[in-house]
Structure 1
Amino acid sequence: MKFIKSFFLTFVLIHLSNMLSGQVKNIGLPQIKNYKRTEYKGGTQNWNIDQDKNGNIYFANNSGLIQFDGSTWHKYSLPNGTAIRSVKIDSDGKIFVGGNDEFGYFNSDQKGVLRYHSLSKLIDKSTNKNINLIWRIHIYKGEVIFQSFTKVFFYKNNKLRHINAPNKFQFSFLVNNKLYFQDKVLGILEYKNQKLKPIEGSTVFNDKEIWSVFPLPNNKLLMATLEKGLFVSDGKSVTPWNTEANDFIKKNTSLGGCIIKNKFIVLNSVLNGFIVCDLNGKIIQHLNRQKGLQNNTILTSFVDNKNNLWLGLDNGITFINENSPFTFFDYSYNIGTVYSSVIFNQNLYVATNQGLFYHPWNKSFKDEPFNKVEGTIAQAWNVQVINNTLLCASNSGALVINNNKVSKILDTKGYFGFKAIPGHDNYIIGESYNGFSIFKNGPNGIEYVNQVEGFDETTNTFEIELDENYLWLKKDPYLYQMTLSSDLKRFDHIKKHTQISDKYKGIESLQYINRKIYFQAKNHFYRYSQEQESFFEDKKLSALFENIPVINTLIEDSNGNLWYSYNESLGVLLKNKNGSFTRNQAPFSNLTGNLVNNYISVNTIDPSNIFIGLTDGLTHYDSKIPNSFITKPKAFIESFSFPKDTILIGNLKTVSKEFRLPYSSNHVKFTFSSPTYENQENLLYSYKLEPFDESWRNWSTVAIKEYTNLREGSYIMKIRAKNSYGIISDISEVKFTISPPWYRHFLAYLLYFFLVIGAVYIISNRIQSKIRKNKYYETIEQRRLYLEKESKIRYEQHELEKEIEKLKNDKLQIKILAKDKELVNNSLQVVKKNKVLNGIIHKLKDIDTNILDDSTKFEFNKLHKSIVKEVNTDKSWKDLEKHIKNVHFDFLKRLKEKYPTISPRELDLSTYLLMNMSTKEIAEIMNISGGGVELARYRLRKKLGLNKKENLIGFLMSI
């Protein structure tokens, strides 16, 4: 192991010195983002690139000027519709462009819309006929210089002058604040004092087409030609630049390039992508289509304000995140999901889902992919060095790796990993799919010994206490505390823990730190006391994670740094020399979502070489690279629109104007942008419309927001952006006012005021008038009511008098009826009396008067006559009938109305029956026999429709 460390340190010092002194790394691939023409809606070829102060990127494209603000692509065309071959932006934000027989600039109008202003119109017609293609634009000493094959135009203070090419120009170059032109006959010309002066010895390039010139140390210049390679000029002589870079260019043809921080040179090629070399010509990086580019022909390259690289391709646009400490090994290096990595015998070994792979550590990583270890075809979960032996835990078993192939299969069961057993030299415990196994390192190497009995569950995380004979195993939601027997054949004791603290439920992770086992719950770390048989908190370690999100994995690397994962993200506490720790979390936010859950792999070889396993490969992290790549983003309101107009704000330097919208346009729409090009998928926006929104909206990747039916008033739309590192931009805002509708305008309210005053006046007069009328009508009404009341009283008095009269009549009638009833009774008495008298008469007739003396006979006859006279002169019967009819007049009337066919005799019979007279009395009154009464009753019942069961008298009483 000491040999490996010393070798590695030597390798770092010799081979990675360039990487330590700059940003371009020679190991792995930088993050690459390709943009196809279907995204930017332009032509295939992109000839030139520049960037404005806001960070927007501009491309000279076959179909016009392409603008990209990080969220949206915009295209602007020249009036003649030709391709744009060059673009340059000055300090005022003017975007100068050149095409075929046309050049000028785009500038923002008051609304932020880019408008084109032609400068070619300033030259006379004869010169205008032969402008040709504007290939290069430079800003030099306050002038804007447009260079074509035939002329050079100089623009300043809205004036234009030109110089004709002595013969024919090729290209021009601005290097070290000097302007050069290549002429086909005179060689390289330097522009001084408004004149072109040939450089001595530069005619050697007459048969060469120079595309770029780069500054080198000691005032030397590097010339990149199309087909002849690279040359160095010291001002007196020109020599080939015999380097790796020159060999590449001569083989693949050069289309120029650019320089990064005056330390690295980017060289574009026609056939094989591009290379990045140092100032000594050593190739640091080579990217082509096989390594992620969408095209191998690089027409132009540009370094933006964050030292990242943009490529204009023959078909498309590519962004390369060079200014990052992360590079990646992906499918182009033959590796997939990475679970573990380790360096052993000068090779970097990587355990992946496709097997175990390796790459020589002392060779360049630029072009060579990883090779598969022979014999590993299944999923490899772990690769470890134990007792100077390389072990691979894979789906196909426990494997010993030697000379980059499987030399021995220790066990055919699937394994997750291995650990050395404390207190048992040369013994190793392996975690398999169904428990644990024991291995021993003997004379013949590592050998399988036995399966440990007593536990056959599976897990992929376990640690062993170094100073105690415990094997701790976390298997959600339990923690197992197991004691191995002295012969390592079984577990003598197994105890299951459901929690390690009464205060914090659950067990988040199990980790091995500083040669001790720690148990973590909610970022509180505990150790186990064998004497107390309980867990106690290590408050010092817990304090380190006080302001960190709840972690699920913690790994201590070889330098004592603590790597932790949380919410599919990664962070690290870097250990300082004094034992304290420094938190570093922001750089790793770009890895969020790409880490392998439950298999976090961090392999720290040294601060400059840290390997982290990902779901789609392996990333290399150089912690020595400063965090200058983490900058505060900028946020812009890219557009502000409403139904009748659109205001593009992203192109304006400042937005101080307050916009006024009519009420009919109270449906507004905002789009946001942030010229942040690395990890754009993790760029978030938050916005707030004051006073409509009470608080900032949640962070979201959506870069658009609409508001509908806003009320009139003043509003401020505020927007901020947060990049993938968690850095929040300053607030960008736009102010606008929505005018009220005409019916809520100030003049309308003034009109409403006067209308209300007038209405109050009119209504007041009408109310007073109505009050007067109401008083008049009230008087009339009172008079009417008085008269009505008086009339009512009179009417009631009259009715009362009538009622009294009626009562009197009723009383008289009652008296009459009473008298009639009395008379009826008297008449009946008389009838009875007459009957008695008739009886007496009949008895007197039976007396023989002959036996009487004359005086007695005379008196007898006198008596007889007197009785007969009394009977014959008595009219009581007629009076009786009259009185009976008077008393029962109403009854007889109702009976007659109900039964019209009833006879008078039957009416009389009904009256007698109603009076409850007996048959005998009826017979006497009606002067009929008793049988005649019964016959009359029968006929009456029949006429009245009564059956035998119905009572006749009751029926008559009901009428």
Structure 2
Amino acid sequence: VYYVENIENNYLVNTIFEGAFLINSEFEILERFNLNSGLQDNTCIYSYSPNKFSNYQNVLWLGLNTGISKVEVSSPFRFFTDRYFSSNHIIFDVLEFNNSVYINTNNGLFYLALDESSGESKLYEIDCDENISGLLIYNKNLYAYNNNKIYRIKNGIADLVNDQGLSGLFTSSVNSDRIIGVDNNQLVYLIKSGEEFKIDKRVKRFSRDIGVKVEDYEGNIWVQHTYDLDLFLYDIYKDSGQHINTDIFQDQEYHVIKYNNKVFFSTVDNLYTFDYEIKEIVTPQNLDPILKENFKNTISIKEDINGGVWIISPYTGNNNITHLIKEQNGGYTNDSIQFKRFSALRVKSVYPLKDGIVWLETSQGLLTYNTNFSTTYDSDFYTLLREVTITNDSVIFNGSYINKVDSMDQIIRHPQSFIPSIDHQNNNIKFVFSSTFYVQEDNTEYCYKLENFDKNWSEWTTDSKKEYTNLNHGDYIFKVKARNVFGLESIVSEYKFHISRPWYLSLVAILLYAMLFVLIVAVIVNLNTQRLIIEKNKLEQKVKERTADLRQANEEIKTQFEEIEAQRDEIEAQRDMVVEQKDKIEKINEEITDSIEYAQYIQNAILPQEDFREKLLPDHFIFYKHKNIVSGDFYWVTEIEERVIVAAADCTGHGVPGAFMSMLGVSFLNDIVNKEYITHPGVILRRLRKEVIQALQQKGKSGEQRDGMDIALCSIDFNNMEMQFSGANNPLYIIRDKKEQPIEEARLLEDIEFNLYEIKGDKMPIAIYERMDKFSLHEIKLKKGDCLYLFSDGYADQFGGEHGKKYKYKPFKKLLLANADKSMKEQFNILNLTLNTWQRGYEQVDDILVIGIRI
């Protein structure tokens, strides 16, 4: 032992041959500093901890046999890779087990343990015949595995347990006796059988590679495909699962993360969770605002032993790690300022251990962070002027105003009695400065300003000197400040100086300048008077010449005026002709409009009238809104063979072309149903398709116009409470009380009291098409109170809202479902009000038709 220093209730012991030791009052070794930890040699003859001019104790200076070393003794960071691994090691996993740290790399499996002979941690390699892909603790034993084998690790030895390996193994947090893994894209259960593991259950095989696997607090497994990012929720206890709708992500890339045994989904802009009651992805409600904001754009989350949260984001060139410290009140504080010292640090994985040490696999090596340290960097630090020189490198300031320094203020504050006056011929001045912050000091930046010369502070730079040349005479104050690697600024230092006037700005010189100026002005005035007389004579001659020119120009103007009058008469005649043509066009337009309005009268006349509809459908509404005067959408109602036939159709186009097609459709339906007594919906649609193809002479040739219609048609037997439905591209919605029997093989949307069932139509129009199959028939038993809805695509395709987007079918379904308990008249009013509110001045894009029927 050579020297001992007290440092914050601990002791630093300097030795001749063993480096330095930091021990506590119980003589327990807290940390060693020697060749292995980065010193130049093991001979420490002096140590210094600066506490005279600063409040922080982050830096320790060691005087060695070969020089001086700086040690950040209170820093929570320690680089591990530089001491034990070469640069080609890739870290796969870090795990703490039985007071040792196990590190799995691409070059083998290692464990870090205390060497009792030296008292230092030492790295040992575990002999294993294959590379390991993961580590697992199960029933107080440590196991290593890959796709081929499973080993038990004990006393630094790898013993083969199974010759069949799996991938992605982890112990279930719900049932600790089971291990979950993947075998050839199949989820499997493992249990211990004697010394071996065996597959207890194969629960789900996926068609593609499995990416992320996360277990939630109920024991469900969330699976995300590697390439197409499909999402599945699988209950491995019930052996059932479902594909999760991810439309809410709007095609953004997302990551499945787990925090506090809850599953979250992170996108670039938002954070979501899963509502197990409605089985939908929703926005989390009861989450700390700091966590909610920092969990966005997150790849993974880990919690340390002190409740701190470690968040890894996608790497974009800047540090991608966020550390949130948990406060005593349950809130969180962002402590990521610690990582600003590392330039463009990319963190790949985080491994919190039980002793408060967090291991981080980074692009700069394996790094440890001690969460038990409480280090702050917000204490004041200073910028020191080390030297001031003028022309010819003459030193006028060497870093201190006095010989004996008792406080830092005496160094940075310029005393009024020491303000140098510099001769103007030496008006080039250079400042050299430094900072008293000693963490990553190479990255310390400086900003300066010379008052009475610079308007603003300079840009930040790592250059610690500044030179000014050719300064004018006057008083100046040079100010400089520093910004450390954590972005904190120092106290400003000042240096005052004065530059004297040059000889050519003295009082005598100024008087001589004034006399010379008066003489020059007198000469100039005399010369200018002579010039003005000459110019006057020239100007009089030019006036005479210009007068003659003006007379000639006047005659020319008279001639041009007469020509302009003739052109005006011709323009007025052309204007009268244009007005006459405009009147003719307006009259033609009026006649066309009258014809279309009469066409509207004819179209309304062929549609089923209200008294007829009320007789067949006592409780119903028809929401019918044209885009133009006439419509391409039409509805049709009739009764035949004690069955009520109802149809809602959307013809190609709108306006006059759509109206012609709609009248064809009504005429064909009257012939097919009322004259031929056909009530089978599929047969009706087939006959209607045949009539349309024949009427429009469609041959199916390439480039041929394929006009036609989409239609939903149902045949209702009110006596037997039965319904038949067929559709061409258009579906039927049925809303039924949850207490009633569900409708099988129908897409379902649930509410508190009602279910909405969607009966899809065939993907074929009423026109010639690549596919000309029979139309499917859906037979459904009706219940009293059922609500049926037939519609065109006009309501869902209407643009509006804040962003000018389509209304879409999902909100349309929810609107119908939310108002299913209301009367048909109230539902009509709600549909009308909702459409008007959504449209917000946007032009109607298509005809709109919605039919509602209550059984």
2:358 paired with 1:600: no
Structure 2 equivalent of residue 632 of structure 1: 380
| Cα distance, 1:264 vs structure 2 | 0.8
Provide the rounded CA distance (Å) in 1 between the counterparts of 2:328 and 2:489: 32
Change in CA separation of 1:462 and 1:687 when aligned onto 2, cut-off 3 Å: farther
**Aligned partners of 1:570 and 1:591 also within 8 Å:** no
Provide the rounded CA distance (Å) in 1 between the counterparts of 2:501 and 2:235: 83
| Cα distance, 1:517 vs structure 2 | 0.5
**Aligned partners of 2:14 and 2:46 also within 8 Å:** no
Provide the rounded CA distance (Å) in 2 between the counterparts of 1:741 and 1:487: 96
AA paired with 1:731? V
AA paired with 1:759? I
Provide the rounded CA distance (Å) in 2 between the counterparts of 1:726 and 1:620: 23
Structure 1 equivalent of residue 822 of structure 2: none
Name the SS for the 2:101 alignment partner.
Answer: strand
Structure 1 equivalent of residue 605 of structure 2: none
2:524 paired with 1:763: yes
**Aligned partners of 1:477 and 1:506 also within 8 Å:** no
Provide the rounded CA distance (Å) in 2 between the counterparts of 1:625 and 1:361: 22
Change in CA separation of 1:424 and 1:320 when aligned onto 2, cut-off 3 Å: closer
2:206 paired with 1:454: yes
AA paired with 1:535? I
Structure 2 equivalent of residue 286 of structure 1: 32
Map 1:666-815; keep pairs closer than 5 Å: 669-688=430-449, 696=457, 699-705=460-466, 717-735=478-496, 752-768=513-529
2:73 paired with 1:322: yes
**Aligned partners of 2:288 and 2:331 also within 8 Å:** no
| Higher deviation after alignment, 550-559 or 655-664 | 655-664
Change in CA separation of 1:313 and 1:556 when aligned onto 2, cut-off 3 Å: closer
Map 1:255-404; keep pairs closer than 5 Å: 255-261=2-8, 263-269=10-16, 271-279=17-25, 281-305=27-51, 306-307=56-57, 308-333=59-84, 338-360=91-113, 366-375=119-128, 378=131, 382-392=134-144, 399-404=151-156
What are the superposed Cα offsets for residues 878-921 of structure 1, whole Å, 9 maximum, x if unpaired? xxxxxxxxxxxxxxxxxxxxxxxxxxxxxxxxxxxxxxxxxxxx
**Aligned partners of 1:684 and 1:702 also within 8 Å:** yes
What are the superposed Cα offsets for residues 231-281 of structure 1, whole Å, 9 maximum, x if unpaired? xxxxxxxxxxxxxxxxxxxxxxx4434333463142221x33233444565
AA paired with 2:42? N
One of 637, 644, 668 as aligned partner of 2:392: 644
AA paired with 2:380? K
Name the SS for the 1:368 alignment partner.
Answer: strand
Normalising by structure 1, what TM-score?
0.45
Provide the rounded CA distance (Å) in 1 between the counterparts of 2:363 and 2:302: 18
Map 1:58-207; keep pairs closer than 5 Å: none
Structure 1 equivalent of residue 290 of structure 2: 544
Structure 2 equivalent of residue 574 of structure 1: 325
Structure 2 equivalent of residue 842 of structure 1: none
Aligned length: 515
Structure 2 equivalent of residue 812 of structure 1: none
One of 322, 333, 336 as aligned partner of 1:585: 336
AA paired with 1:732? S
| Higher deviation after alignment, 648-657 or 287-296 | 648-657
What are the superposed Cα offsets for residues 318-351 of structure 1, whole Å, 9 maximum, x if unpaired? 1112133444544445686655433323433233
Name the SS for the 1:369 alignment partner.
Answer: strand
Provide the rounded CA distance (Å) in 1 between the counterparts of 2:213 and 2:486: 33
| Cα distance, 1:514 vs structure 2 | 1.6
Structure 2 equivalent of residue 912 of structure 1: none
| Cα distance, 1:369 vs structure 2 | 0.7
Provide the rounded CA distance (Å) in 1 between the counterparts of 2:122 and 2:38: 14
Change in CA separation of 1:292 and 1:772 when aligned onto 2, cut-off 3 Å: closer
Name the SS for the 1:756 alignment partner.
Answer: helix
**Aligned partners of 2:161 and 2:197 also within 8 Å:** no
What are the superposed Cα offsets for residues 858-891 of structure 1, whole Å, 9 maximum, x if unpaired? xxxxxxxxxxxxxxxxxxxxxxxxxxxxxxxxxx
Provide the rounded CA distance (Å) in 1 between the counterparts of 2:204 and 2:76: 45
**Aligned partners of 1:397 and 1:409 also within 8 Å:** yes
Provide the rounded CA distance (Å) in 1 between the counterparts of 2:475 and 2:228: 56
AA paired with 1:761? A
**Aligned partners of 2:221 and 2:236 also within 8 Å:** no
One of 303, 316, 326 as aligned partner of 1:556: 303
**Aligned partners of 1:325 and 1:621 also within 8 Å:** yes
Provide the rounded CA distance (Å) in 1 between the counterparts of 2:269 and 2:310: 13
Provide the rounded CA distance (Å) in 1 between the counterparts of 2:45 and 2:341: 30
Provide the rounded CA distance (Å) in 2 between the counterparts of 1:778 and 1:630: 82
AA paired with 1:390? L
**Aligned partners of 1:507 and 1:519 also within 8 Å:** no
Change in CA separation of 1:482 and 1:736 when aligned onto 2, cut-off 3 Å: farther
Change in CA separation of 1:355 and 1:645 when aligned onto 2, cut-off 3 Å: same
Provide the rounded CA distance (Å) in 2 between the counterparts of 1:266 and 1:559: 31
Provide the rounded CA distance (Å) in 2 between the counterparts of 1:439 and 1:735: 78
One of 520, 527, 530 as aligned partner of 2:266: 520
Normalising by structure 2, what TM-score?
0.50
| Cα distance, 1:516 vs structure 2 | 0.5
AA paired with 2:142? L
Provide the rounded CA distance (Å) in 1 between the counterparts of 2:399 and 2:103: 46
Name the SS for the 2:439 alignment partner.
Answer: coil
Provide the rounded CA distance (Å) in 1 between the counterparts of 2:182 and 2:432: 54
Provide the rounded CA distance (Å) in 1 between the counterparts of 2:41 and 2:320: 33
**Aligned partners of 2:304 and 2:358 also within 8 Å:** no
2:151 paired with 1:406: no
Name the SS for the 1:473 alignment partner.
Answer: strand
Change in CA separation of 1:469 and 1:257 when aligned onto 2, cut-off 3 Å: closer
Unaligned runs of 5+ in 1: 1-253, 786-959
Larger relative CO (CA 8 A, sep 6+): 1 or 2? Answer: 1
Change in CA separation of 1:540 and 1:346 when aligned onto 2, cut-off 3 Å: same
Provide the rounded CA distance (Å) in 1 between the counterparts of 2:333 and 2:126: 38
| Cα distance, 1:601 vs structure 2 | 2.7
| Cα distance, 1:562 vs structure 2 | 1.6
AA paired with 2:13? V
Provide the rounded CA distance (Å) in 2 between the counterparts of 1:547 and 1:301: 45
Change in CA separation of 1:646 and 1:487 when aligned onto 2, cut-off 3 Å: farther
**Aligned partners of 2:359 and 2:368 also within 8 Å:** yes
Map 1:848-863; keep pairs closer than 5 Å: none
Determine what percentage of the aligned residue pairs are the same residue: 24
Provide the rounded CA distance (Å) in 2 between the counterparts of 1:725 and 1:572: 15
Larger Rg: 1
What are the superposed Cα offsets for residues 94-118 of structure 1, whole Å, 9 maximum, x if unpaired? xxxxxxxxxxxxxxxxxxxxxxxxx
AA paired with 1:260? I
Structure 2 equivalent of residue 430 of structure 1: 181
AA paired with 2:483? K
Unaligned runs of 5+ in 2: 402-410, 545-855
What are the superposed Cα offsets for residues 777-798 of structure 1, whole Å, 9 maximum, x if unpaired? 999x99xx9xxxxxxxxxxxxx
Change in CA separation of 1:426 and 1:772 when aligned onto 2, cut-off 3 Å: closer
Structure 2 equivalent of residue 418 of structure 1: 169
| Cα distance, 1:440 vs structure 2 | 0.3
Change in CA separation of 1:324 and 1:485 when aligned onto 2, cut-off 3 Å: closer
Name the SS for the 2:412 alignment partner.
Answer: coil
